[in-house]
Amino acid sequence: MTDENTAPDGGLTAAEQAVLDEINEQNVDFLRLQFTDILGTVKNVAIPASQAAKAFEEGIYFDGSSIEGFVRIQESDMRLQPDPETFAVLPWRTTETGKAARMICDVMNTSTGEAFEGDPRYVLKKAIARAENMGYTLNAGPEPEFFVFENDEEGRATTTTHDVGGYFDLAPKDLASDLRRQIIYNLESMDFEVEASHHEVAEGQHEIDFKYDDALTTADNIATFRSVVRATAANNDLHATFMPKPIARINGSGMHTHLSLFDESGTNAFHDDDDEFNLSGVAKQFLAGILEHAPALTAVCNPTVNSYKRLVPGYEAPVYIAWSDVNRSALVRKPAARVPAASRIELRSPDPSCNPYLALAAMLHAGLDGIERGLEAPDPVRENIYEFDETKRDEYGIDTLPANLGEAVEALEADEVVQDALGEHVFPKFVEAKTQEFEEYIVEVSEWELDNYLETF
């Protein structure tokens, strides 16, 4: 018997043929074949929909040397292999002549015919395979936040917020409610299950939450979500950004990520009815792994210079390596769960500038390391850590996350587990890019420095 992902005679699989049928039914005339570079930037190659069968059978070739962190010029030919399970019509790209759709691709090495080790999607697939070998499947649920700004008369982005609403505000203060509604409609048309949306704490800041899924689907969804939000905003002459801290002295944008492991029987391996926190031994070992590798994880989950303008005390973003079941000042929180299947932990440090494939791969490897080594989670901290002084933090054994991208990269270079998550190709390329970014940043002179020092000294 042939399953939908196996071609019976070397031709198209059932899933691929279903895509061709939908292309005809939906009057799709162009396809965007999407992938991401090491830094998480979405790239795409557009082809006429008439070439879809050829793309499935032969792939689409491109110059990998032009993509950040992929390959050297002398080994540049790469191939995109579309994943038919990711086909979706782009709701904002409908014209009189037809529609556009996208498929997310795996990047293949043309010289070997195998998956390219520098493809972030492949990095996550390897992490997923490691978990499966241990009998687990990772489910992840992100909470991506973003800002919406006005454009100037020339169409360039400003930092003038589109509205002056606050946390959970309603119209008329929350002028972006119609925009959020459009975003949700577009997401739902692409088969997202949106669970909630609301105005966030800062003016112009918003959050839209979609249902958790397996790790690969979630990473694909995060990449798609960012594209949908930006495109919908642009169609309204606005600019949406996932920059972690676009405005000084207000809350930044995070992407709290909920994590849980399910075993081969489909049971939540993180749940234990008899535990005070309803967390199993496996969950606590996974949590301990996250805490132990938190400094190195920060380089991957908070990968920009700007990320560390958010990770400062006083703005709700976590900086202390601890966990809690009752407050949000800790790095990891245990949310309340109404049913056993909902037991999970929430890592609160990631921000939406991260490469979702690399970030989830790193989180998964860190947690699995905790399970493999039988690490013991510390006691939860139920007090507000923001109110602790240094002496009290030392008493509780609470360390802090790296203070800047340079420190985070140093932590990554000292952590073999997170290095292994990234792989032999991505790790050195990632470190090279981030080291260069930080070095460029530290030699720059900011407006703040000019304002405070130019006439004073």
Convert the pLDDT of each residue in 89-134 to its tens digit.
999 877 777 899 999 999 998 878 899 999 999 999 999 999 999 9
Does residue 177 surpass a pLDDT of 60? yes
> Which of 167-176, 241-250, 292-301 has the least mean pLDDT?
167-176
Residue 425 main-chain phi, psi, to 5 deg? -85, -50
What value does the mean pLDDT take over residues 71-84? 71
Which pTM was predicted? 0.93
Q: Which residues pair with 399 in a beta bridge?
A: 321
What does the alpha-carbon distance between residue 391 and residue 381 come to, in Å, rounded to a whole number? 15
Residue of 109, 128, 127 lying closest to 119 (CA atoms): 109
Stronger pLDDT, 352 or 204, i.e. the higher one: 352
| pLDDT in the model for residue 415 | 98
| pLDDT in the model for residue 390 | 87
Taking a C-beta distance cutoff of 8 angstroms, is the pair 321, 400 a contact? yes
Averaged confidence pLDDT in the chain: 89
Q: Compute and round to an integer the Cα radius of gyration of the chain.
A: 23
* Residue 395 CA from chain centroid, whole number: 34
| pLDDT in the model for residue 75 | 44
DSSP, collapsed to helix, strand or coil, labels residue 257 as strand
pLDDT in tens, 138-175: 999 999 999 999 988 888 888 888 876 544 445 544 45
What value does the mean pLDDT take over residues 252-259? 95
- Which burial class, exposed, middle or buried, applies to 274 when counting CB atoms under 10 A from its CB (0-12, 13-18, 19+)? exposed
CA distance readout (Å), 92 to 47, 95, 208, 409: 18, 9, 18, 38
- Which burial class, exposed, middle or buried, applies to 378 when counting CB atoms under 10 A from its CB (0-12, 13-18, 19+)? middle
Return the DSSP state at 61: E
Dmax over CA atoms of the chain, in Å, equals 80
Catalytic site residues? 63, 143, 145, 200, 207, 256, 328, 346, 348
Please report which helix (H) or strand (E) contains residue 102, including its range: strand 99-109
- What the block records as the tokens of 380 is 């939860």
What does the alpha-carbon distance between residue 322 and residue 320 come to, in Å, rounded to a whole number? 6
DSSP, collapsed to helix, strand or coil, labels residue 30 as strand
| pLDDT in the model for residue 159 | 86
| pLDDT in the model for residue 168 | 45
Euclidean distance between the first and the last CA atom of the chain, given in angstroms as a whole number:
80
Does residue 283 surpass a pLDDT of 70? yes
Tell me what percent of the chain is helix, strand and coil, each rounded to the nearest 5: 40, 25, 40
pLDDT in tens, 402-454: 999 999 999 999 999 999 999 999 999 999 999 999 999 999 999 999 999 99
